């Protein structure tokens, strides 16, 4: 009979709690975003920009991850077959990398806003560098799929998944490199322009909290994987990744919610913002990306 073994009933309840609460929060974030962007109207869709679409797609990606992994754990059962166990790690990689690509694409647009100076995207060196870096992520994704681990543990046939060091190390190196790149591209214009604004304190506070949340969840996730030498029980891996996904989506939603709420009270055709607000927004999201 298809099932997923848990060491104790308490851990099973905890795993269910993570998935159910995660789906509830992501549904809330997505519904609020739909309202803020007025996507229930044709005008809202017509005025939807690519960066805002990226935020929506991150929330959708996170929701689908939580829904699909919950179905695998509590519906199909991770120990149902070898195929199910293999699908689990493949789904984890696909959803994680998909979310990262969307976040990087969103931040690339912010880099363009800060550095463009009315230059077209394909003529902006910074934009092209960022896009080239994102395209290089395709190689990392291929390495992750080639280095994935999916097997059954001898004795109790528990589904064990993870990544080989040959896959996890390039991923960590890439993340560190692109995060440093994007953050420096946001910080340098802000320091150079020396923009005074009463919004800086609020943005800094929001960014600090979001960064702390993202840093904590990512650190715990990496620490667990390191301690277990790249091998984790399927339900544990999906649970820790689920926490990471939900908290990162919450941080991204919260960092952008203040600006989005103010914009939603204006006429939808008023899409122009000042350079100061764009730089501050880019700074907040850049620091979030660095710690995430």
**Number of domain units in the chain:** 1
What number is the average pLDDT over the span 25-29?
94
Burial of 208 (0-12, 13-18, 19+ CB in 10 A): middle
Q: How far is CA 168 from CA 86, 137, 144, 164, 174, in A?
A: 17, 13, 7, 6, 10
pLDDT tens for each residue of 47-88: 888 878 888 999 999 999 999 999 999 988 888 888 888 999
Higher pLDDT: 127 or 192? It is 127
pLDDT score for 209: 56
Nearest partner of 209 among 257, 251, 247, 261, judged by Cα: 251
232 phi and psi angles, rounded to 5 deg: -135, 150
> Chain-wide mean pLDDT for the chain?
75
Of 18-32, 82-96, 154-168, 191-205, the least confident: 191-205
Residue 143: C-alpha distances to residues 148, 222, 228 (Å): 9, 18, 20
Q: Is residue 1 part of a domain?
A: no
Domain-embedded: residue 143: yes
To 10 degrees, the CA torsion angle through 37, 40, 41, 44? Answer: 20
Judge whether 3 lies within some domain: no
Domain that holds residue 141: 9-291
In a domain, 41, yes or no: yes
Task: Assess whether pLDDT exceeds 60 at residue 102.
Answer: yes
C-alpha 168/C-alpha 182 separation (Å) is 21
Q: Does residue 284 surpass a pLDDT of 60?
A: no
Question: What CA–CA distances, in Å, run from 30 to 52, 62, 70, 189, 269?
Answer: 12, 10, 19, 32, 22
Name every residue whose Cβ is closer than 8 Å to that of residue 71 and which is 6 or more positions away in sequence. none
Range in 8-17, 144-153, 241-250 the model is least confident about: 241-250
- Looking at 51-55, 117-121, 153-157, which range is the least confident one? 117-121
**What was the pLDDT predicted at 190?**
59
Tell me the β-bridge partners of 149: 162
Q: Is residue 187 part of a domain?
A: yes
Would you state the pLDDT for residue 291?
A: 44
Mean pLDDT lowest for which of 19-28, 75-84, 208-217, 262-271? 262-271
For the cut 90, the answer to whether the pLDDT of residue 206 exceeds it is: no
Name which of 38, 124, 112 is nearest 278 in CA terms. Answer: 112
Ranges 79-88, 99-108, 199-208, 275-284, most confident: 79-88
Any idea what the CATH number is for the domain that residue 144 is in?
A: 1.20.1070.10
Query: What value does the mean pLDDT take over residues 141-155?
Result: 88
């Amino acid at each position: 009979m298809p099932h997923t073994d848990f060491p104790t009933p308490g851990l099973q309840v905890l795993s269910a709690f993570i998935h159910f609460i995660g789906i509830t929060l992501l549904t809330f974030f997505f519904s609020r975003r739909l309202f803020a962007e007025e996507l229930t109207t044709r005008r809202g869709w017509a005025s939807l920009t690519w960066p805002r679409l990226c935020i929506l797609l991150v929330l959708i990606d996170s929701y689908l991850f939580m829904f699909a992994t919950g179905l695998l754990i509590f519906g199909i059962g991770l120990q149902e077959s070898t195929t199910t166990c293999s699908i689990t790690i493949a789904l984890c990689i696909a959803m994680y990398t998909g979310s990262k690509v969307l976040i990087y694409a969103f931040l690339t647009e912010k880099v363009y806003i800060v550095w463009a100076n009315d230059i077209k995207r394909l003529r902006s060196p910074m934009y092209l560098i960022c896009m080239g870096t994102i395209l290089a992520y395709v190689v990392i994704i291929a390495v992750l799929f080639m280095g994935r681990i999916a097997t059954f543990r001898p004795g109790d046939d528990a589904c064990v998944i993870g990544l080989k060091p040959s896959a996890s190390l390039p991923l960590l190196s890439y993340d560190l490199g692109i995060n440093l790149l994007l953050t420096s591209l946001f910080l340098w214009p802000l320091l150079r322009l020396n923009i005074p604004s009463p919004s800086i304190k609020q943005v800094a506070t929001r960014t600090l909290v979001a960064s702390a949340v993202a840093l904590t969840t990512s650190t715990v996730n990496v620490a667990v994987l390191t301690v277990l030498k790249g091998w984790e029980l399927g339900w544990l891996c999906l649970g820790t990744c689920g926490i990471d996904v939900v908290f990162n989506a919450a941080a991204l939603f919260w960092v952008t919610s203040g600006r989005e709420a103010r914009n939603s009270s204006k006429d939808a055709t008023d899409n122009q913002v000042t350079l100061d607000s764009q730089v501050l927004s880019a700074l907040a999201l850049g620091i979030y990306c660095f710690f995430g």
